[in-house]
Amino acid sequence: MATATPTITNGVNVTQLVDTIGLIKKDPSLARFRFRSRTRWDGGGRCATEITGFYGAGAEISRARAHALAGDEPPVLLGSDTAPNAVEAVLHALAACISVGYVYNAAARGITIESLRFDAEGELDLHAFLGLSDTTRPGFERITFTATVKADAPRAQLEELCEYVQRTSPVLDIIRNPVPVSIRLVAE
């Protein structure tokens, strides 16, 4: 029996994407994922995060190699500027998530993307972080995001895709909606 050649658009295996959606429709539990990370402080404003595995598609999945992320602060915020700071990493996470959403959904719709760029900017006030205000929000007050795309689709189709990606982006949802977070302290 011959195996069909997969359809690849924008570097995405559309055949596998459609098959995955079909499997999840048959067994909704396959859509449940649990991602984990371990972060170690490295002195000053520096930290290192390691990501080795996750639970998804009904099984524990180990990565072939650990992924590493670094964090630091710029000198004006008392760091050594060896890596982006945490709020810059949030902008990266948002852009990365929306990028995947654009590319995968464009591929599923038969839209070929020639180029895609995101420019993000977040504004925050350090008064709360520095303990100088109980009324100032410590996080971003606003994020502005510009998507620049060149694709073989009319603007109306790209606008609809942009709206769809915003409705389905996990990271955008995390930013827009409160997520319960519990922190358990273990003193050694």
The pLDDT value recorded for residue 4 is 77
| Cβ(120)–Cβ(91) below 8 Å | yes
76 contact partners, CB below 8 Å, separation of at least 6 = none
| Cβ(46)–Cβ(71) below 8 Å | yes
For strand 113-123 and strand 38-41, is the pairing parallel, antiparallel, or unpaired? Answer: unpaired
Reference 168, options 85, 108, 89; nearest CA is 108
Residue tagged 């909704």 (tokens): 28
pLDDT at 2 > cutoff 70? no
128: which DSSP letter? T
> Residue 141 is encoded by which pair of tokens?
């007050």
Q: Could you report the per-residue pLDDT of 133-171, keeping only the tens digit for each?
A: 999 999 999 999 999 999 999 999 999 999 999 999 999
The pLDDT value recorded for residue 20 is 94
163 contact partners, CB below 8 Å, separation of at least 6 = none
Domains assigned to the chain: 8-83 (3.30.300.20), 85-177 (3.30.300.20)
> For the chain, what is the radius of gyration of the CA atoms?
20
Q: Could you report the per-residue pLDDT of 37-85, keeping only the tens digit for each?
A: 999 999 999 999 999 999 999 999 999 999 999 999 999 999 999 999 9
| 3-state SS class at 115 | strand
Residue tagged 């650990």 (tokens): 66
| Cβ(109)–Cβ(101) below 8 Å | no
pLDDT at 1 > cutoff 60? no
| Cβ(77)–Cβ(88) below 8 Å | no
pTM above 0.75, yes or no: yes
Percent share of the chain, pLDDT over 70:
98
Q: How far apart are CA 80 and CA 73, in angstroms?
A: 6
pLDDT averaged over every residue in the chain: 95
